[in-house]
Amino acid sequence: MAQESIKKDRVVRAIFRHMMGPERFAWRSDMAAHLPTLYLLARHWGQKNIVELGVNEAFSTIGLLAGAVEADCPMVSYDIVHCGANLWKNIGLAPDPTLKWEFRQMDSLKAAQQWKDGSIGLWFLDTSHKLEPVRQELAAWLPKMDKDGVMCGHDYYLHEQREWAQESGVKTAVDEFANLYRARFRLQVLPHDHGLWILWPFPPIGPELQIHRRCWRQLPPRVAVPCDECGMVP
């Protein structure tokens, strides 16, 4: 157990050194600023499996894996290109088969078929960014999510980049999905660096409170006055 703890500590230190240190800025990646958030998501929503769709240079993998290692949670990363080795190159460690991390070269929709319903605690998306593929990915993976699982992804505001103005459909697909499943999720967007979107599981509604679905404000039961946040009557 002591040796296992030392190994885990070594991995986490290596990841954090590259996640928080000067190397992070040398990457010139719009993902770098979101790595602490990805770490926290994986650390605290790592009770079940973590799935990452879209690896590329493995910057998001670094943040997610740091939290997964601390949470002792299995993590699987998918990409249509064989790029899993980029993780080890970026953090400066030799591949460690004892970690609960696996890279699989596979299409994201086919990958969904490998998972049982309700088996995923955290799901991260950063793939083609086009409207129909993102719609299909959200729909295919939703049944695989635990009832308290978090779905998230990058490039919510990618359409604001001139070269992506006509191509990116991330915001449209996520907004549609969040509206369709508004009883289950609450959408939050961290707007910097092309935008990190997070679909938080909707808090359970107990007899002592109700949730105003327009502004997500918690109200006492049987309140029939306009909400001072958005003016609507519950």
Its pTM stands at: 0.77
Q: What is the pLDDT of residues 18-38, one digit of tens each?
A: 555 555 544 556 777 888 899
Instruction: Enter the tokens of residue 205.
Output: 């509604």
Ranges 13-17, 114-118, 158-162: which has the least confidence: 13-17
Is the pLDDT at 68 greater than 50? The verdict is: yes
Is the pLDDT at 1 greater than 60? The verdict is: no
- Degrees to nearest 5, angle at CA 148 with 145 and 153: 60
Residue 89 CB burial class (10 angstroms; 0-12, 13-18, ≥19): exposed
Query: What pLDDT band is residue 97 in, cutting at 50, 70 and 90?
Result: confident
Give percent of the chain with pLDDT exceeding 90: 40
Is the pLDDT at 45 greater than 90? The verdict is: no
pLDDT value of position 185: 93
Q: Return phi, psi of residue 176, to 5°.
A: -60, -45
128, 129, 133, 138: CA torsion to nearest 10: 120
Q: What is the pLDDT of residues 162-196, one digit of tens each?
A: 776 777 788 999 999 999 999 999 999 999 888 89
Q: Which CATH superfamily is domain 2-202 in?
A: Vaccinia Virus protein VP39 (3.40.50.150)
| C-alpha to C-alpha distance for 69 and 167, rounded to whole angstroms | 35
Is the pLDDT at 229 greater than 70? The verdict is: no
Domain range annotation of the chain: 2-202, 207-234
Q: Give the range with max mean pLDDT: 52-56, 140-144, 154-158, 223-227.
A: 140-144
Mean pLDDT across the chain, nearest whole number? 78
Please spell the DSSP secondary structure of 39-104, one letter per residue: HHHHHHSTTSEEEEE--TTSHHHHHHHHHHHHHT--EEEEESS--THHHHHHHT----TTSSEEEE
Q: Mean pLDDT, to the nearest integer, of 4-11?
A: 56
